[in-house]
Amino acid sequence: MYHLQRVKKEKNFEKQSVLFFLFTDLDEGFLFLFKMNIIGRIRNRTQRKSQDPLKEPVRENKENKEVKEKEKAKGPPREEKDKTKSEKETQPQSSRPGPDDPTSKDRLIKRKQIVKFVKNTVEKGPAGIRNEFSTMKRFNDFEKMKAFKNAQDKNKNRYKDVGCLDNNRVKLGSPWPHDYIHGNFVATPSNPKRFICTQAPMEKTCADFWFMCLQEKVESIFMLCNLVEKGAKKCFEYYPSKEKTMEFEEKGLKITVKFESSAVLKWEKPSESKVMETVLNVEGPGGLTLRTTHYHWIDWPDRGVPVADLALCELLAKSRVSKNPIVVHCSAGIGRTGSVVMIEYMIDTLLIGGIIEDSDKILLRIREQRNNSIQTDLQYLFVHQVMMNFLLDKKLFDNDVKMAHLDFTTKYLKAVS
């Protein structure tokens, strides 16, 4: 972890203090000092002291000044240029600065972006993070959910106690016969409509769901639940998983969903998570068409957490290419769904150069868009563990933080086991 240390100049230097970051890699420390122009000042003083005091300095006249300006305009001699070029070409690839190099400017900037989040996460520990979640009570303000209340007797809501906020709900447009679906747009720092968080489709809402996807040009769908979990129906079968076609209808308007291909998703990093990737072609009223990819996360338990590896980060990276909304649903569309949204919110903050703020503030901001997002303390803890693993993988930790990360992970595994 970055430690701020005060170092006093001694002997021939003025008695003043200079602040600098003490990094585990000396190159990083020197890079920071160069930026503050400290090393430059030290070097200039050393050079002045090494000059021969008996040598008379050359006085600059008009003629000398003109000669110097001409030489400067010409640039360095050809031999010197060739030598510099040759040194660059022969420099080993591994020694050249890159995004993972300890002296990389990009890496130093990213460390500043994460220092607050990492410090808070490590200091709180799993127990503190779970306690923090318990202070953020969930509730429904039905005065802000009038469309949800009006849809109660139309069998359009899966759960009576999981509301849908009016202010940013997805509204179905023409030619659809009504505008209601239990779904909300949720923003990340770079995209005001990064996600559509919605409930799992019901028998009477499948057509609504697919029209929403057509309308919003959705290219990725995350399904985080199974059709049946612990003997209870959690989702209606709304897409073809084999070579067949499914048709849905709402008051005479038909939507066709055709199967194209399916395969188990292969991860770049080792992962135990199982996700089925299915490509679908959708056709709707008014000539609307869509080719979308459906990702079914098979082993994410209800109100629980999967293995906190980098699988979710990879899945988000695959879908981030499109700027259109990513549809995410579990059964209610708030627990597992909220976990995905919060992780992407933090990653997106890093990608645009922002500083990750306090976790509780991020969750409250998400809940203002999708009510009661993240249902359990373990889901909230899972978000922190995944982010810590993500930052470790990006080589943004020094040795002290790596040890703290290991301790945090050990406690996390005990908490979720």
Alpha carbons 24 and 396: distance in angstroms, whole number:
12
pLDDT at 38: 36
Three-state DSSP string of 59-72: CCCHHHHHHHHHHH
pLDDT at 109: 72
Alpha carbons 134 and 363: distance in angstroms, whole number:
13
pLDDT at 3: 38
Cα angle 189, 195, 199 (rounded to 5 degrees) comes to 145
Known active-site residue 330? yes
The token duo for 215 is 């309308």
Contact 415, 126 (CB under 8 A): yes
- DSSP conformation class of 169: B
Contact 233, 199 (CB under 8 A): no
pLDDT at 104: 60
CB atoms within 10 A of CB 414: 9
Alpha carbons 209 and 301: distance in angstroms, whole number:
23
Of the candidates 197, 213, 235, 330, the residue annotated as catalytic is: 330
Residue 360, strand partner residues: none
Consecutive 10-residue averages of pLDDT for the chain (417 residues): 37 34 38 37 39 40 54 54 46 39 61 92 98 94 96 94 97 98 98 99 98 99 98 97 94 98 96 97 97 98 93 97 98 98 98 94 98 98 98 92 96 96
Alpha carbons 129 and 380: distance in angstroms, whole number:
8
The token duo for 267 is 């991860």
- DSSP conformation class of 287: G
pLDDT at 65: 52
pLDDT at 7: 34
The token duo for 284 is 């709707």
Q: Using CB atoms within 10 A of its CB, is residue 49 exposed (0-12), middle (13-18) or buried (19+)?
A: exposed
Which H/E stretch holds residue 84? helix 78-90
Alpha carbons 382 and 370: distance in angstroms, whole number:
19
Would you kindly state where each structural domain of the chain is located, as residue ranges? 1-52, 107-416
- Sign for the pseudo-dihedral over CA of 116, 122, 128, 133: positive
Rounded to 10 degrees, what is the CA torsion of 41, 43, 49, 51?
Answer: -120
- Exposure string of 367-399, with b = 16+ CB inside 10 Å and e = fewer, is bebbbbbbbbbbbbbbbbbbbbbbbbeeebbbe
Q: What is the CATH number of domain 107-416?
A: 3.90.190.10
